[in-house]
Amino acid sequence: MKQSFNKYVLTVTLLAAFFSLNGCSGSGDKPAETTTAAAAVIAETTARSSAGTAKASAETAKASEMKADKAAGDAGKYVIYEYESNGNKVDHGMLAEAGMGDTWLELYEDGTGKFNLFKNMLDITWEPGEITVYGTSKYTYKLEGDTLNLDMQGVYYTMMREGSLPAADSTGSNSSSSDSGEVSGTYYLTMLDTMSIQEFAEMTGTTVDKASEMIMLRLSPDGSMHFIEDGEDQPGTYTIEDDVITLTAEDEKMTGTIDGDTITFDLEGEKLVLSGSRPTDSGASAAADGSDSKSGEAVDTSTATGGDGVVGSEEELEKDYVWMNKVAKDIFHTTYEDLVKQFGVEGKFDKEEYSEHMKVNKRYYFWISPEDENHFIYVNFEEDDPDNAPGVYTVSGFNSSGFSASEAESRYLEEVQAAANEADKAAAANMKMKDFSVDIHPFAHDEDTITVSMQIPESGWSYDENKDHLVENEDPNTFGAGFIQFKVDPELSKFDFYKDKFENYKDIDEREIGGIKFAGRTYKNIGYEWTEYIAQIDDSHAVSIGIVRIDTSEGSMGDRILNSIKFK
């Protein structure tokens, strides 16, 4: 590792030639191997989680009686810090860069909770040392101090109690010092010997952001580290004694000194300086080849609008968070302008950057309570299509700070949902409709067809043939979108096969659909709150219409669709 450092520092002029050649031949950006690994690991977790829960029955187990002392100690919100599977470790910086840093686990004192797993909200129950997802999928955890280690069938999550996670500042700093002297976070290149990062960026014909990532050091609270040099990752460990840090990788060691959030290594008389505060571009380091942001150039922040970000009240802020997290139909395709309409004010602009790993322009905004500036919603945006629609930024992630999301939900969800339903009804009354029909079949009998015809909006809805879902979104695969599911079986009793697994079962008023009286019921199953209507429509066909996250009260779009249905 020491040899590697010296080689890098002594060949700066060669790097300048390298970047000049890249500037002439195109982007020339090296693939981000660590991000590829992160994406693979994230994909693997999603697959494993889906496979594990698919086998589980739908029943969510009632919380067992908790021991009060243990429950009080374990209850709380824990935010993801690191993630590991098959020997691949993804640290917090990489997760945040990939838009996955908002994964969290919240344990309520009553033995229930929420698990926001890479933007997939799961209901859980728990007892000390174990969480249960979907009633039967059990995973163990260990809590040591403020650190929770969760084992999900060989996929490991390191999570930290909310408030103890090292927080990123407005310049990109995410380092923190503990009482024991340990320092965690990401450190960026700021100086090579006597050359500042601005001078180095100018000489190499790149931006300060990109130059600062040529050497990075990521330190984790568990003593592991990743030394990243020109995209190549050298994993290892680190120790700190007094103000001296020692890095170890493949039996090679390198020592440096720590002063605040700055780490300095002296390599045979030449200094290498890394800082936990990401260096900013002073304007002197614009790329010599005139390349734009898509090829690594720092984006022009002059196009980013913003205000003070202060909303009308604390209550409005919490309601807006509940709307984003629970009510919005497609929050991750919501534009900045749409969110400004929702909040009533422009967001407070924080920063704008080009993500080398994700190959996308990003912007960050605050919306803030007027009663406490430490209560806010922080929203990440990404530019959707810079080639065809430059300047259109949509939500890629968000989190709350300073107030309890679960308490806000318990106070305001019903009210916020009701207001959204009324707005939808007003829109539905004037929405243009079109004729639409689908063919549904009993399982494994494609030759037996029931055609369901109806009217749906001319835009904004789609159909997923694989699931027989009419989806309240133009993209049928959009996470969290409401849907209407159609099923057909020879006998009505087939729809009761899992009835003993249904939670909170309740019979509701029957409804006439297509001239036929359908029995109604509501229940929770496979993590969804269902409204279902079932009827035997002829001697050999029974139909189920299941509804999730779609209002069907009088005057709503769901109501219009159900009223238009006909069978043949």
Is CATH 2.40.128.50 the classification given to domain 37-161? yes
Q: Select the more confidently predicted residue: 547 or 283.
A: 547
The class level of CATH for 431-567 reads alpha beta
Residue 213 pLDDT more than 70? yes
The arrangement of strands across the sheet holding 566-567 comes to 433-440, 450-457, 566-567
The pLDDT of residue 456: 95
Residue 32 pLDDT more than 50? no
Helices in 398-501 by DSSP H: which ranges? 405-429
Is there a common fold for 2-30+166-295 and 37-161? yes
Tell me which DSSP letter residue 477 carries: T
Distance CA 117, CA 53 (A): 13
Distance CA 396, CA 100 (A): 9
Closest CA to 224 of 37, 33, 89: 89
pLDDT in tens, 169-187: 333 334 333 333 446 778 8
Residue 97's pLDDT band (cuts 50, 70, 90): low
Q: What percent of the chain has pLDDT over 70?
A: 73
Q: At what angle do helices 12-25 and 197-204 cross, to 10 degrees?
A: 50
Distance CA 85, CA 157 (A): 9
The pLDDT of residue 231: 67
Q: Are 508 and 520 in contact (CB under 8 A)?
A: yes
Per-domain residue ranges of the chain: 2-30+166-295, 37-161, 301-426, 431-567
Q: Where are the beta strands (DSSP E) in 65-136?
A: 76-85, 88-90, 104-107, 112-117, 120-127, 130-133
String of DSSP letters for 289-308: T---GGGTPPP-GGG-----
Spell 99-136 as b/e; 16+ CB within 10 A means b.
bbbbbbbbbbeebbbbbbbbeeebbbbbbeeebbbbbb
- 3-state secondary structure at position 482: coil
Give the type of residue at 546: G
Distance CA 282, CA 196 (A): 12
pLDDT in tens, 56-72: 444 434 434 444 445 56
Joined together, the tokens standing for residue 89 give: 């470790």
Is CATH 2.40.128 the classification given to domain 2-30+166-295? yes
